[in-house]
Structure 1
Amino acid sequence: MSYSYLFKYIIIGDSSVGKSAILLQFMEGKFKAEHDTTIGVEFGSKIIQVKGKNVKLQVWDTAGQESFKSITRSYYRGSICAFLVYDVTNRESFTNIQKWLEETQNYANDKITLVLVGNKIDLANKRQVSYDEGHEFAQKQEIQFVETSAKMGQNIDQVFRKSTEDILQKIENRQVDATNESLGIKIGPQLTEKMVSDTKKTKKECC
């Protein structure tokens, strides 16, 4: 399927918070109880329709371990959106979000859209981090916030769709330059064809 834009996403956070599970659920609508530890970076892509446009999301799932930091940092700058993921049943993973946020601020471009994602809400009886705590942190940092369950598929499609919508809005408002590929955006064949067609039409009408 052709698309108007390609957006590059990055998923970051501590090990075992469900980053790979979020990617798998979004890409294939599946959940695997046992996931091999991500070595470096894993990748998936999918086309979704938002605001009447086909948008291809190229999603990079990064390893959470310190030993892979030098590899994953290279993916920050060229991304237009980052999901900062923690596990609602693991307080330490939430505490470490501050560290991940600082990493993003240090290495990503200044146009990046940030989304705080509290995963594993299906494990309600093991919850250590309340919704209000996540919401308050996100408000303070002025970033988006959503709670998800990669296992149940809850809010997975929505978090990708909402962030894509926000990026498209920023492009429309000229807050983000869609022609600047270093930001993690690429104009797709669908839009290129339309632009060529519109140019030809304008020339035909005026000359």
Structure 2
Amino acid sequence: MSSDPYEEECDYLFKAVLIGDAAVGKSNLLSRFAGDDFRLDSKPTIGVEFAYRNVKIGDKLIKAQIWDTAGQERFRAITSSYYRGALGALLVYDITRRATFDSIKRWLREIREFGKSDMVVVLVGNKSDLGRSREVSEEEGRNLAEIEDLFFMETSALQNFHVEEAFLHMVTRIYEITMQKNLEAKEIESTVPTLPAGKEMININIDQVTATKQSTCCLN
């Protein structure tokens, strides 16, 4: 087996996206989670980039594929297509810029338009290390998350505060939903009647049979 952790055979591959306005710290959050890296001179994301991180949940190995989408308006049309297949999202705002918090509901509308109905969304108030410049209180973030039925956490990519926890909560919740769906599918499968080998089940549409009888009677 390869020593490269990214080459390990995984049990599940989960795609998730990082979304939010430009310069809220999405790229550095991903750098912290994927490689414990932080760059003060981080450049704006152009289009979309992604990184992997393997996560162990119980005896299962999950490969989390996290897409870092551009927050600039001119890239919105491009990034909307990247919701396809995404099972989770970290929705990020900057606690020192209220405008980025005010944009959250717009981003949520986009998630609900393009994303899966059961997508796991974690609301993240980033840059908690800049508390003196805070424009959005932690209570405001928590209240919005409660109203919108989201998980909430404040983070600092610079100090590596709660970054791991935010991503792991999302991945773990995706895993739980996936397991529940698998269980429900097995339960449905177990209720389907089985026939002896060589036998075939033929479904008859009762409405069609009735209609045929009626039309035949009318010919007499």
TM-score normalised by the chain length of structure 1:
0.82
Structure 1 CA distance for aligned equivalents of residues 184 and 142 of structure 2: 29
Structure 2 CA distance for aligned equivalents of residues 151 and 165 of structure 1: 24
SS in 1 for 2:129: coil
Shift, 1:66, TM fit = 0.8
Shift, 1:52, TM fit = 2.9
Ranges of 4+ aligned residues in structure 1 off by more than 4 Å: 175-178
Task: Report what 1:130 is aligned to.
Answer: 137
Task: Report what 1:157 is aligned to.
Answer: 164
SS in 2 for 1:36: coil
Shift, 1:175, TM fit = 7.7
Query: 5+ unaligned residues in a row in structure 2: which ranges?
Result: 1-7, 186-220
Q: Indicate the structure (1 or 2) with the bigger Cα radius of gyration.
A: 2
Counterpart contact for 1:25–1:150, Cα < 8 Å? yes
Task: Establish whether residue 78 from structure 1 lines up as the match of residue 91 from structure 2.
Answer: no
Counterpart contact for 1:117–1:146, Cα < 8 Å? yes
SS in 2 for 1:104: helix
Structure 2 CA distance for aligned equivalents of residues 78 and 167 of structure 1: 12
Structure 1 CA distance for aligned equivalents of residues 117 and 59 of structure 2: 27
TM-score normalised by the chain length of structure 2:
0.78
Counterpart contact for 1:111–1:176, Cα < 8 Å? no
Task: Report what 1:191 is aligned to.
Answer: none
Structure 2 CA distance for aligned equivalents of residues 64 and 171 of structure 1: 29
User: CA 1:143/1:175 → structure 2, altered by over 3 Å: closer, same or farther?
Assistant: farther
Structure 2 CA distance for aligned equivalents of residues 24 and 132 of structure 1: 27
Task: Report what 1:169 is aligned to.
Answer: 176
The residue correspondences of 1:107-126 to structure 2 (distance < 5 A) are 107-126=114-133
The residue correspondences of 1:1-207 to structure 2 (distance < 5 A) are 1-174=8-181
Structure 1 CA distance for aligned equivalents of residues 102 and 112 of structure 2: 17
Count of matched residue positions in the alignment of Structure 1 and Structure 2: 178
Provide the alpha-carbon RMSD of the alignment: 1.6
User: CA 1:154/1:102 → structure 2, altered by over 3 Å: closer, same or farther?
Assistant: same
Query: 5+ unaligned residues in a row in structure 1: which ranges?
Result: 179-207
SS in 2 for 1:150: coil
Shift, 1:130, TM fit = 0.8
Q: Deviations over 1:165-188 (max 9, x none)?
A: 11111122228999xxxxxxxxxx
Shift, 1:61, TM fit = 0.3
Which structure has more RCO (C-alpha within 8 Å, separation ≥ 6)? Answer: 1
